[in-house]
Amino acid sequence: MSHDDHTMPPSTLALRIKAIETLMVEKGKIDPGAVTEIVDIFQNKLGPRIGAGVVARAWSDPAFKARLLEDGTQALKDMGVSGLQGEAMIILENTPQVHNVIVCTLCSCYPWTVLGLPPTWYKSAPYRSRIVIEPRSVLAEFGLDISNDREVRVFDSNAEIRYMVLPERPAGTEGWSEDRLAALVTRDSMIGTGVPLAASAI
């Protein structure tokens, strides 16, 4: 994605894809429910599950976590996460003192490789502008009340740099397997607008 991709209207390609989808549905060639299911798989299962695996490994393996925080791009490649197209991946660790959140104020640059499709709200003008100006208020709207003694840092992605948040590990998960830990990781927790599920959730 280049810095010129800061347009609000859908791209010509997006419009063509929507037109083809509409025509196929009208002619009975595809089921609209199937399209929704496929989008859901990419948005909520496939992409975010890759990132969740990265987070779970970082929670379980201190050496990997150190490499991930030092050089996210290389650590992801070492883990077999492909698809990086020249952009650097920087991993931001949430701690009791600091809460990180990501945005792309100019367009919608997003770490597709690890998080899958971006949520609609991530691309919206209100989120892109307000999260920088009033991050605590926006996070509160997502259900996150960040205490005043905890610093909130907002990181702005661009064509050269993508960010992903390494959320805090939930309490009560000591000794858990990576697969079990990964089930707690939500897409929003890797954006910084949410937190992982509690240990009691699974």
Within 8 A by CB and 6+ apart from 135, the residues are 101, 152, 154
Distinct helix (H) and strand (E) counts, the chain: 11, 4
107 assigned ligand-binding residue: yes
Pick the catalytic residue: 104, 129, 157, 189?
Answer: 104
Q: Given 2, 60, 82, 107, which residue is catalytic?
A: 107
Closest CA to 118 of 5, 22, 31: 5
Q: Is 200 annotated as a binding residue?
A: no
Would you call 107 a catalytic residue per the annotation?
A: yes
Catalytic hit among 11, 60, 82, 109: 109
Q: Is 104 a catalytic residue?
A: yes
Q: Helix or strand or coil: residue 102?
A: strand
109 carries an active-site annotation: yes
End-to-end CA distance of the chain: 37
Distance CA 131, CA 191 (A): 12
Catalytic residue among 2, 108, 129, 147: 108
Was 104 annotated as part of a binding site?
yes
Residue 108 is assigned to a ligand binding site: yes
Rounded to a whole number, what is the largest CA-CA distance in the chain? 58
Active site residues: 104, 107-109
Annotated binding residues, as ranges?
104, 107-109
Annotated binding residues for Fe(3+), as ranges?
104, 107-109
